[in-house]
């Protein structure tokens, strides 16, 4: 399939381009578009055949449900049984924005969206192009991240092109995404509000409004294999570079020392070693095959650049990636969740 590429700089003067994109969505095709978190792979969320094309393009397992993106409360209300009180609080504060909320679904929502669950994940994105596409399409847009399943999520149109060119009808280039990591997935359908995936809205942000909010125990390490994460997507190896990756955590100086040591050893064995490190520590390593993920003084820069950094290391064709950790507060929780998954659980504590 020939993929159409459009670049949107101004929604007003380019209204007809957005109309073309919405026409494709309405006619059951797949369009990749920017959101404030990562690029999404969008299709009409009420059209089962259209949604099937998303799964095909990504190579996504059918048991992993999708998020529906809405532009208004009216659109939301058609999809769900009720809006719990806590949801009003969160929507008021964080919508439009990087928070996905689980609701009890109505029968309008096709089973393919929810993988047969009776809950549906919904968010209202804040990116103007995303909102305009939903509005013009006049339907909730189902959109997972626009990467091939298992690869790092795309934060630039060039990443989407790498993974999706030739497989979908259109790619809308809206520049780099802002947050850089996916939305927080919050379950409000049980007695205690629970974060199923840490993301752009932090635990600290949510606690202000939902003091009782907890993290899905299945997400935390050390709980053993018997606790399965509630969000199906969290059980897969995700965000994964092609190379083996090891995450080093603990005392900062020890981490640097251990990475240097391990790099020497692997290089002596003829392996090509890549380093994924913070700006502050960059000067402490040899310059070869090093990618800076951002500044530990401002973790938002790390969130913003993380997936691009992992893709860059892939392009260098390294055999092994040695990676620093960041503090797990604020957006650091989402960063460490993605790094831990990218490393397939390979984490060394020092």
Binding site for Mg ion (CB under 5 A): 145
> Under a CB-based contact definition with an 8 Å cutoff, are residues 282 and 295 in contact?
no
Work out whether 162 is an interface residue with ligand TXA (CB under 6 A): no
For residue 81, what are its two tokens? Answer: 């049984």
Work out whether 337 is an interface residue with ligand TXA (CB under 6 A): no
Mode of pairing for the β-strands spanning 40-44 and 141-142: antiparallel
Residue linked to tokens 């913070």: 278
Name the closest residue to ligand TXA (Cβ). Answer: 233
> Under a CB-based contact definition with an 8 Å cutoff, are residues 41 and 30 in contact?
yes
Question: Binding pattern to ligand TXA, positions 68-107, x when CB under 6 A?
Answer: ------------------------------x-x-x-----
Question: Which residues, in sequence order, are CB contacts of 147 under 8 Å at separation 6+?
Answer: 58, 153, 154, 159, 160, 163
Phi, psi of 179 (to 5 degrees): -60, -50
Q: Which member of 234, 278, 281, 289 binds ligand TXA (CB under 6 A)?
A: 234
Of 64 and 330, the one with the shorter C-beta distance to ligand TXA is 64
Which region among 46-54, 84-92, 177-185, 299-307 touches ligand TXA (by CB under 6 A)? 177-185
- The partner residues of 38 in beta bridges, in order of sequence, read none
143 binds, among ligand TXA, Mg ion, none (CB under 5 to 8 A by kind): ligand TXA
Write the CA distances from 241 to 77, 139, 172, 201, 326, integer angstroms: 39, 34, 25, 25, 19
Work out whether 346 is an interface residue with ligand TXA (CB under 6 A): no
Assign residue 157 a region: left if phi > 0, alpha if psi is -120 to 50, beta otherwise? alpha
Q: How many residues bind ligand TXA (CB under 6 A)?
A: 29
Instruction: Tell the smallest beta-carbon distance from residue 316 to ligand TXA (Å).
Output: 25
Work out whether 144 is an interface residue with ligand TXA (CB under 6 A): yes
Work out whether 231 is an interface residue with ligand TXA (CB under 6 A): yes
Instruction: Tell the smallest beta-carbon distance from residue 13 to ligand TXA (Å).
Output: 26
DSSP assignments along 309-332, one per residue? HHHHHHHTT-SEEEEE----STTH
Which region among 36-44, 213-221, 260-268, 301-309 touches ligand TXA (by CB under 6 A)? 36-44
Q: Which member of 32, 40, 75, 132 binds ligand TXA (CB under 6 A)?
A: 40
What gap in Å lies between CA 285 and CA 307, rounded to an integer?
21
Residue linked to tokens 């909010």: 213
Which region among 115-123, 275-283, 289-297, 308-316 touches ligand TXA (by CB under 6 A)? 115-123
Residues that bind ligand TXA in the complex, under the rule CB under 6 A: 35, 37-38, 40, 64-67, 98, 100, 102, 114, 117, 119-121, 143-145, 182-183, 185, 196-197, 230-234
């Amino acid at each position: 399939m020939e993929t159409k590429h459009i670049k949107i700089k101004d929604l007003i003067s380019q209204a007809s381009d957005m109309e073309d994109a919405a026409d494709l969505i309405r006619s059951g095709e797949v369009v990749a578009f920017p959101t404030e978190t990562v690029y999404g792979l969008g299709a009409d969320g009420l059209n089962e055949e259209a949604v099937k094309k998303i799964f095909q393009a990504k190579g996504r397992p059918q048991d992993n449900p999708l998020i529906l993106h809405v532009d208004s409360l009216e659109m939301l209300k058609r999809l769900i049984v009720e809006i719990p009180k806590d949801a009003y609080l969160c929507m008021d504060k964080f919508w439009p924005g990087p928070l996905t909320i689980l609701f009890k679904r109505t029968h309008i929502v096709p089973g393919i969206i929810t993988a047969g669950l009776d809950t549906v994940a919904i968010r209202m994105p804040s990116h103007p192009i995303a909102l305009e596409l939903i509005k013009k399409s006049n339907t909730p847009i189902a959109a997972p991240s626009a990467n091939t399943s298992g690869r790092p999520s795309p934060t630039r149109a060039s990443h989407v092109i790498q993974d999706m060119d030739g497989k979908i009808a259109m790619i809308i280039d809206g520049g780099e995404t802002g947050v850089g990591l996916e939305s927080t997935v919050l379950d409000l359908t049980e007695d205690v509000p629970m974060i199923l995936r840490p993301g752009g809205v932090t635990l600290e942000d949510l606690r202000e409004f939902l003091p009782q909010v907890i993290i899905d125990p299945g997400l935390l390490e050390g709980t053993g294999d018997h606790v399965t994460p509630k969000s199906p997507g969290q059980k897969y190896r995700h965000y994964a570079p092609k190379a083996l990756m090891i995450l080093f955590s603990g005392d900062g100086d020890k981490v640097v020392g251990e990475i240097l040591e391990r790099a020497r050893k692997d290089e002596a064995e003829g392996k090509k070693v890549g380093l994924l490190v913070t700006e502050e520590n960059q000067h402490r390593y040899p310059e070869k095959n090093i990618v800076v993920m951002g500044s530990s003084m401002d973790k938002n820069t790390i969130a913003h650049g993380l997936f691009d950094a992992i893709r860059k290391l892939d392009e260098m064709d390294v055999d092994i990636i040695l990676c620093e950790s960041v503090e797990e507060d604020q957006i650091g929780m989402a960063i460490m969740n993605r790094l831990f998954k990218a490393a397939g659980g390979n984490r060394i504590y020092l």
